Chain A
Amino acid sequence: MSECGDGRACPTVPEMELPQSAALPKTVALIGPPNSGKTTLFNRLTGLRQKVANFPGVTVEQHSGLAELPDGRAARIVDLPGVYGLSPRSEDERIAHDVLTGARPGTRKPEAILLVLDSTNLHRHLMLAAPILSLGVPTLVILNMADDLRSRGGHLDLPALAARLGAPVALISARQGEGMERVWEFLAGAMPLPEPTELPVLQDVPKCRQWAGRMGAHASYRPPAPPQWTRRLDSVFLHPIGGPLVFAAVVVLVFQTIFSYARPLMDGVTWGFETSGNWFADRIPWPLVRSLVEVVWVKGAGSVIVFLPQVLLLYMFIGVLEDSGYLARAALIADRTMARVGLQGKSFIPLLSAYACAVPAIMATRTIENKRDRFATILIAPFMTCSARLPVYLLIVAAFIPDRPLLGRFMSTGTAAMLGLYLLGFVAAVVTARILKSSILRTHRTPFLLEMPSYRWPTWKSIGLRLVDRGKVFLRRVGTVILVVTAALFVLTQLPLVHGAAPPIENSLAGTLGRTIEPVIRPLGFNWKIGIGLITSLASRETIISSLGSIYGMDPSNKAGLRQALRRDLTPAGALALLIFFAFAMQCISSIAVVRRETGGWKWPALQFAYMSVLAYAGAFLAFHIAR
């Protein structure tokens, strides 16, 4: 156990319960203000040996990982949220404070601190050094972005600064790996306690700033020239006309990529699952096990992993936008529009990506620091017309609305109906946002602050690690739920056995369930067959197509036959009700699972599911009775 270099072996050690001992890796906390390059340094120290978890009881994500030291030992690096100060006001600051002081149950007090500051903005960032150094924990002050400082003509005297702060100081570039040997030396070395020559009154921000200024002056700090490239790029990206044009181009590109360009990849995934499913099925002699493999593997696992290309492409975009610094500009441009519904600029990209799938969109709300704005965005994201609603809409619209030209050749009745459904979801989202932001999620007049970082080239390493990270979270958290639900649904359609074989669907447990809920859904114009479809669509919306296909005893790919069968079972008013139901209802286990994860409990997903179900039922009821 003394050798703990292997990242896979170490997390199994129950280190939280054990007393500190030399055999265990040292715990080192990584802290710094937002935009200090903290995450880049974390990635450089730990590489792929990192794991993501939420801090117990809260929704703030904890990244931790193992850094392998030159002498073969390892250090456990805990990445804390980016904070400007340590006074426990925001959730992030409270967690950072509690972890650093050892007051957070379940998290070991760190033996040392790596404080990451932006060397090009030393004075303001040094203000965080005062509360950190006063903790009396061995600290290495890391001045990041050495390459920027040098190229823009900045300068400072490191030994003088180290002497005044009473702590070792390293000037590094985490992006380029420059100066990293000082960080490794510190992690492997004796880690002296800090002995600052003076500290300001921590509660007094102006005093802290004066202190930071004095420290900088002692180190003969010369601030770098303003970032010329950032100014030049901003004169384009924030231009009154050019800015919105670039913004629109980025939006179209993101939309187009997750909607269209991801298609071949998704088809590839589906093909892979079907082919491998068939290959297995051909080799299994027992019919029940064979269909279980088909259902759980192809329809269950396959229907989740098919979204992986969208998730990864979306994250690649968000990664590039965020790391390059453009995301802050996009949020600035979108802010005024989003403010009208009570949200803010940073909600824009998640909501846009919800048109592809709510799951990555909900995960993407992490870029919104304000918790209430973030939750409001999470709660309205499933209203956006996601790609799982699309096949359902297409089927019902094609079955009930004769495709006739409406505006010449530009728009047919079918297209208009589809557009109407997209609009319906959007309006529901906007109205819900307004309701939420003026009631339970009202932001208490907190000023909206958005820091504009300098533009930088994103690095492949950082983007790649983020994709691995998000991919793992997606597959693990969402995949397990879907597998369980599809397996359960499969069992429901197979029981009770009749002469050792599955019963006709109307006699199965699923059929009984459908008939049981029939009185509830009859006022919406649905019969028990649609009822089974609705139940199965809880797993994911488009499942209703394959279930209806099997209920009517026909191949779901035979669209014309399915349309005819639907017309026998649904009146036009019932079809309208079904469309409205699908527009509003949260029939998506993956979304529920990811909301639970992101909000840290069942309260919000339960509220959201109830709200959307009530809205769906009421909307469908009204539509059915008005249209009848």
Chain B
Amino acid sequence: MQLDVNKSLPETIVATLVDLRRGDAAVLDRIDLPGEDARRLMELGFLPGATVVAGQSAPGGDPRVFRVDGSEIALRRETARRLQVRPTKKATR
């Protein structure tokens, strides 16, 4: 599980929640979704500046559980792809 996605990606490509592996943490930058959907995510704790930790996933990696603001929320890949992040910590496993 030592997939260092960030290094394998060119600098210009923005990292999203999809790029996080289990245990990785990142700071949420922006939500690339229409206003209402973004608001729904924000009400669940996905606020810009919040730290998001990737948790377990369903078999096959989709959907995946994310820990944010004291809760655990599962998102499908199609949604996680729209949440841009700045990675802060790699899983030390």
Q: Which residues of A contact B (CB under 8 A)?
A: 84-85, 87, 89, 120-121, 123-124, 127, 205-206, 209, 223, 234-235, 238, 240, 243-244, 328, 332-333, 335-336, 339, 345, 445-452
Is B4 an interface residue when CB atoms closer than 8 A count as contact?
no
B79 CB contacts on chain A under 8 angstroms: 447-449
Listed by A's residue number, 6 A-B pairs whose Cβ atoms lie within 8 Å are A84-B43, A234-B65, A235-B56, A445-B37, A449-B75, A449-B79
A127 CB contacts on chain B under 8 angstroms: 43
A446 touches B37 (CB 8 A): yes
Known: A84-B40, A209-B47. A449 touches B74 (CB 8 A): yes
For residue B36, which residue of chain A has the nearest CB? A89
A121 touches B71 (CB 8 A): yes
B69 CB contacts on chain A under 8 angstroms: 121, 123-124, 209
B43 touches A205 (CB 8 A): yes
Choice from B41, B58, B63, B71 contacting A124 with Cβ under 8 Å: B71
CA separation between A84 and B60, bound complex, in Å? 30
Q: Which positions 25-79 of chain B face chain A at CB distance < 8 Å? A: 33-34, 36-37, 39-45, 47-48, 55-60, 62-63, 65, 69-76, 78-79
For residue A240, which residue of chain B has the nearest CB? B59
Q: Can you name 5 extra interface pairs (CB under 8 A) apart from A121-B71, A339-B76, A450-B63?
A: A206-B47, A238-B58, A447-B37, A447-B75, A451-B71
A124 touches B33 (CB 8 A): no
CA separation between A449 and B71, bound complex, in Å? 12
CA separation between A235 and B57, bound complex, in Å? 10
* Minimum CB–CB distance for B75 against chain A, Å: 7
B40 touches A449 (CB 8 A): yes
B70 touches A244 (CB 8 A): no
Known: A205-B39, A335-B76. A120 touches B59 (CB 8 A): no
A240 CB contacts on chain B under 8 angstroms: 59
B74 touches A332 (CB 8 A): yes
CA separation between A209 and B79, bound complex, in Å? 22
A205 CB contacts on chain B under 8 angstroms: 39, 42-43, 47
Q: Which residues of B contact A (CB under 8 A)?
A: 33-34, 36-37, 39-45, 47-48, 55-60, 62-63, 65, 69-76, 78-79, 82
A244 touches B47 (CB 8 A): no
* Minimum CB–CB distance for A369 against chain B, Å: 11
For residue A238, which residue of chain B has the nearest CB? B56
Interface pairs A-B: 5 shortest CB-CB: A452-B72, A447-B79, A205-B42, A238-B56, A450-B74
A448 touches B75 (CB 8 A): yes
A452 CB contacts on chain B under 8 angstroms: 65, 71-74
CA separation between A124 and B71, bound complex, in Å? 9
A85 CB contacts on chain B under 8 angstroms: 39, 43
* Minimum CB–CB distance for A153 against chain B, Å: 14
Known: A127-B43, A234-B56, A238-B57. A451 touches B70 (CB 8 A): no
B62 touches A124 (CB 8 A): no
For residue A212, which residue of chain B has the nearest CB? B69
B58 touches A333 (CB 8 A): yes
B60 touches A206 (CB 8 A): no
CA separation between A448 and B82, bound complex, in Å? 13
B55 CB contacts on chain A under 8 angstroms: 234
B44 touches A124 (CB 8 A): yes
For residue B57, which residue of chain A has the nearest CB? A238
A332 CB contacts on chain B under 8 angstroms: 58, 63, 65, 74
For residue A454, which residue of chain B has the nearest CB? B72
A449 CB contacts on chain B under 8 angstroms: 40-41, 44, 73-75, 79
Chain A CB within 10 A, most for which of B36, B58, B70: B58
For residue A234, which residue of chain B has the nearest CB? B56
CA separation between A205 and B72, bound complex, in Å? 19
A206 touches B42 (CB 8 A): yes
Choice from A209, A238, A445 contacting B65 with Cβ under 8 Å: A238
* Minimum CB–CB distance for B38 against chain A, Å: 9
B74 CB contacts on chain A under 8 angstroms: 328, 332, 335, 448-452
A209 CB contacts on chain B under 8 angstroms: 42, 45, 47, 69
CA separation between A335 and B64, bound complex, in Å? 11
CA separation between A234 and B55, bound complex, in Å? 10
B70 touches A123 (CB 8 A): yes
Choice from B33, B56, B65, B70 contacting A120 with Cβ under 8 Å: B70
* Minimum CB–CB distance for B46 against chain A, Å: 9
A339 CB contacts on chain B under 8 angstroms: 76
B72 touches A336 (CB 8 A): no
CA separation between A85 and B34, bound complex, in Å? 17
Choice from A124, A235, A333 contacting B59 with Cβ under 8 Å: A333
B73 CB contacts on chain A under 8 angstroms: 449-452
B47 CB contacts on chain A under 8 angstroms: 205-206, 209
CA separation between A418 and B42, bound complex, in Å? 50
A447 CB contacts on chain B under 8 angstroms: 33, 37, 40-41, 75-76, 78-79, 82
CA separation between A223 and B71, bound complex, in Å? 12
B43 touches A448 (CB 8 A): no
* Minimum CB–CB distance for A591 against chain B, Å: 31
* Minimum CB–CB distance for A76 against chain B, Å: 29
CA separation between A333 and B58, bound complex, in Å? 5
Chain A CB within 10 A, most for which of B37, B43, B45: B43
* Minimum CB–CB distance for B78 against chain A, Å: 8
B70 CB contacts on chain A under 8 angstroms: 120-121, 123-124, 223
Choice from B37, B58, B72, B82 contacting A451 with Cβ under 8 Å: B72
CA separation between A205 and B57, bound complex, in Å? 28
